[in-house]
């Protein structure tokens, strides 16, 4: 997380969260990462840095991204897993072990 050391009278105000999303399907894994800005002015209550939890920060990221943004990331992960589970190569290359 990135923070402002001081902002609007508060200290260590989170302004951006670096996140990653991983999905698995059997032996296949899909991954996506990014950063999302967390606008301070949209929060109802300031939460001191020491009191933040994973759940609070995830809620902030989901709120900042919106339902469509979160759905797009999950769809991308599903697409990666589907592509890995159903490759379009008709026959494997001879140097790749089955």
Tokens read off for 75: 């769809």
CA 84 to chain CA mean position, Å: 20
- Domain boundaries, given as residue ranges, for the chain: 2-74
> Across the strands, what pairs with 34?
19
Residue 34 scores a pLDDT above 90: yes
As beta bridge partners, residue 28 has 25
What pLDDT, in 10s, does the model give residues 12-22?
Answer: 999 999 999 99
The two structure tokens encoding residue 31: 């991954």
Secondary structure (DSSP) of 74-87:
HHHHHHHHHHHHS-
pLDDT at 86 (0 to 100):
84
Predicted pLDDT at 85: 86
């Amino acid at each position: 997380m990135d923070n402002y050391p001081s902002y609007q009278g508060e200290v260590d105000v989170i302004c951006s969260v670096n996140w990653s999303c991983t999905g698995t399907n059997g032996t296949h894994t899909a991954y996506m990462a990014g950063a999302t800005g967390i606008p301070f002015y949209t929060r109802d209550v300031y939460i001191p840095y020491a009191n933040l939890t994973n759940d609070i920060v995830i809620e902030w990221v989901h709120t900042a991204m919106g339902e469509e943004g979160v759905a797009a990331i999950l769809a991308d992960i599903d697409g990666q897993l589907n592509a890995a589970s159903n490759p379009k190569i008709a026959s494997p290359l001879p140097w790749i072990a089955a």
